[in-house]
Amino acid sequence: MIYDVVILGAGVVGGMAAYQLSQYKLTLAVVEAKAEAGMGASCANSGIVHAGYDAEEGTKKAKLNVQGNAMMSDLCKTLDVPFRRNGSMVVAFNEDEMAVLLKLLARGKANSVPDLTMLTPEQVHQKEPYLNKVCGALYAPSAGIVSPFELAIAAVETAQLNGTDVFFNTTVRSLTEQEDYVLVDCGEKQLKARFVLNCTGVWSDTLAGDETFVIHPRKGEYLLLDKKCSGLVQHTIFPTPSAAGKGVLIVPTVHGNILLGPTADDTEDRKDTGTTAAGMESILIKCQKYISDLSTKNVITSFAGLRASSTSKDFIIKFAPNSRRRINAAGIESPGLTASPAIALLLEKMLADAGVVLEKKHNFQQRPRVVKPAEMSFDEKNEWIKQNPAYGRIVCRCEQISEGEILDAIARGAVTVDGIKRRVRAGMGRCQGSFCLPTVLKMLAEEGKIDCTEVTKCGGGSVYIKGTNR
């Protein structure tokens, strides 16, 4: 079999491409090295839907950011993914920084960012009373927040529902272009594709067939605060950017936590997602500039992700040199999450221009809505419990996640503890799974018909139990 399109990578960019293309009568496959969708950069970023004032005018970043931002609300509603347009502020603490904000304002208007405005110190304090005294802020009401890993999961799940083959735990070794197809060598598995979309994040240059750019992974560490801090800020708070980047942020999440970070440290290790005491200290010191009494007492976890920073200052979305069949979507760092639905449309257009016939399916299906008892009224919740008592048995006390929700997540494709966590938030609360983990492990083993020693945190060798004393 020769697939029409094989997509490499099941992060938010690859996932959105799969979702978009699965609406057409095409044979599609997604190849992902990890155990589930959204387990790379998509599971460890800020979750910000950027307004679009940051990127240089005329770049792909600028155009696709604004386009993707405009698409996000309807897209998330369709995919049943949490999204909120909470707005953002870039704050300034002196006159020099205020001058930078005016430049961002002008750039944002040139990029067609809607409703950008400057706020006085009094207006900032009115919107964010816990912030320290500032000189002013650039306010972007079109900015938002989304659950990045849920967006990737939902996109891939919907693509699968519509006939896309998805190969997890599958690493691409090489791509060889033939006359009529590209051979995708995955070791024991060999795939053929008329077109290949390379959406592999920090690994994209290794499969690009393009020596004009190199990916330099940039590690960003984060701190997550307990939900009791949820009222600390309502908007996403940015510092005035510098040559080093956007800086350390304070970000509300769609689930009610507060996220602090990220750091920005270049690394040669494309698997380096470890956190450090120095990173935690650096984040706290920088965030205390905004809110003085931040401390570690409300930090419930820390994590790190790798951004696909490249030698190009723009997204690299183009055919590989001397290729008619391989398209790279590389260097998709910030605002890649925001731009992802627009990137999918661009990839679709490139395929159409290359001769791919895009005929809409008449039977395209959206994935079923996710059952969320915590968001239901008392009567609605009781009705669900009457129909299925599993929704009345709480497994995760911190997040009030039921046995029924975990079973639903497994039925939808979760095979790891992190897969459960990111789909329904079991283990995301204050105790970070200390209470619910044994039950989740047991349920994954029973539903997957495997031994408990085979259940992993995130695939590979990340087992919890090495053996039993039975």
The CATH number covering residue 440 comes to 1.10.10.1100
The whole-angstrom separation of Cα 52 and Cα 337 is 12
Domain assignment present for 54:
yes
383 and 241 share a domain? Answer: no
| Percent of the chain whose predicted confidence (pLDDT) is above 70 | 99
Share of the chain above pLDDT 90, in %: 96
Q: Pick from 265, 281, 308: which residue ends a domain? A: 308
Domain of 206, CATH number, reads 3.50.50.60
The pLDDT assigned to 244 comes to 60
What is the CB-side half-sphere exposure of residue 194 using CA atoms within 13 A? 14
Long-range contacts of 404-410 (CB under 8 A, 24+ apart): 404/371, 404/373, 405/371, 405/372, 405/373, 406/440, 406/443, 407/443, 407/447, 408/370, 408/371, 410/443, 410/444, 410/447, 410/448
| Region of residue 214 (left: phi > 0; alpha: psi -120 to 50; beta: else) | beta
Angle, alpha carbons 51-53-59 (nearest 5°): 105
Residue 463 covered by a domain: no
Greatest pairwise CA separation for the chain in angstroms: 69
Residues 424 and 442 in one domain: yes
Q: Has residue 262 got a pLDDT over 70?
A: yes
User: Cα separation of 32 and 40, whole Å?
Assistant: 10
Q: Are 344 and 16 in contact (CB under 8 A)?
A: yes
Q: What is the mean pLDDT of residues 34-52?
A: 96
The DSSP-derived string for 300-338 is: EEEEEEEEEEESSSS-EEEEPTT-SSEEEEE---TTHHH
| 464 inside domain | no
Supply the range of the domain harboring residue 208: 1-85+145-214+311-369
Residues 35 and 459: beta-carbon distance below 8 Å: yes
Question: Which residues are within 8 A (CB) of 235 and not within 5 positions of it... i.e. 6 or more apart?
Answer: 86, 87, 88, 89, 127, 128, 139, 143, 252
The count of other CB atoms within 10 Å of the CB of residue 416 is 21
Q: Report the pLDDT value the prediction gives residue 467, as an integer from 0 to 100.
A: 83
Same domain, 138 and 238: yes
> Would 465 be classed as within a structural domain?
no
Task: State the catalytic residues.
Answer: 50
468 has pLDDT over 90: no
Q: Which of 369, 395, 419 is the last residue of a domain?
A: 369
Residues 161 and 67 placed together within one structural domain of the fold: yes
Q: Are residues 238 and 191 in the same domain?
A: no
How far is 470 from 217, CA to CA, in rounded Å? 45
Across the range 58-62, mean pLDDT stands at 98
Q: Give the rounded distance of the alpha carbon of 283 from its chain centre.
A: 21
pLDDT in the model for residue 470:
67
CATH number for position 286? 3.30.9.10
Which of 211, 216, 296, 287 has its CA nearest to residue 248? 287
Tally of structural domains, the chain:
3
Tokens coding 213? 């750019």
234 contacts: CB under 8 Å, gap ≥ 6: 86, 87, 127, 128, 252
8 Å CB contact between 350 and 69: no
SS in 3 state form for 11-71? CHHHHHHHHHHCCECCCEEEECCCCCCCCCHHHCCCCEECCCCCCCCCCHHHHHHHHHHHH
Question: Comparing 112-126, 174-188, 230-244, 357-371, which segment has the lowest mean pLDDT?
Answer: 230-244
Domain stop point among 369, 389, 410: 369
pLDDT in tens, 309-335: 999 989 999 999 999 999 999 999 999
Are 231 and 139 contained in the same domain?
Answer: yes
- C-alpha distances out from residue 384 to 38, 81, 188, 190, 389, Å: 29, 21, 45, 45, 8
Give the residues across from 121 on adjacent strands: none
**Which SS3 state, helix, strand or coil, does residue 260 take?**
strand
Question: Do 415 and 446 contact (CB within 8 A), yes or no?
Answer: no
Q: Which two tokens stand for residue 441?
A: 């492990």
461 within a domain of the structure (yes/no): no
Burial of 346 (0-12, 13-18, 19+ CB in 10 A): buried
- Whether 226 shows a pLDDT value over 70: the answer reads yes
Same-domain check for residues 169 and 294: no
Asked if residue 92 is part of any domain, the answer here is yes
What is the rounded CA–CA span in Å between residue 411 and residue 363?
22
At 201 the pLDDT is 97
Q: Does residue 114 have a cis bond before it (omega within 30 degrees)?
A: no
Kindly state whether residues 249 and 380 are assigned to the same domain. no
Helices (H), 111-147: 121-127
Question: Does 304 lie in the same domain as 264?
Answer: yes
Confidence of residue 246 (pLDDT cuts 50, 70, 90): confident
What global pTM score does this model have?
0.97
Domain check: are 111 and 209 in the same one?
no
Residue type present at position 263 = T
Average pLDDT (258-271) is: 95
Same domain, yes or no: 346 and 446: no
Instruction: Please enumerate in sequence order all residues whose Cβ is within 8 A of that of 378, keeping only pairs 6 or more positions apart, or say none.
Output: none
- Would you say residue 470 lies in a domain? no
Q: Coil, helix or strand for 401?
A: strand
Indicate the residue type of 180. D
CA angle in degrees (0–180, nearest 5) for 162-84-310? 70
Domain assignment present for residue 294? The answer is yes
Asked whether residue 203 carries a pLDDT value surpassing 70, the answer given is yes
Q: Tell me what the pLDDT averaged over the chain comes to.
A: 96
- Reduced to 3 states (helix: H, G, I; strand: E, B; else coil), residue 164 is coil
Residue 254 and residue 223 share a domain: yes
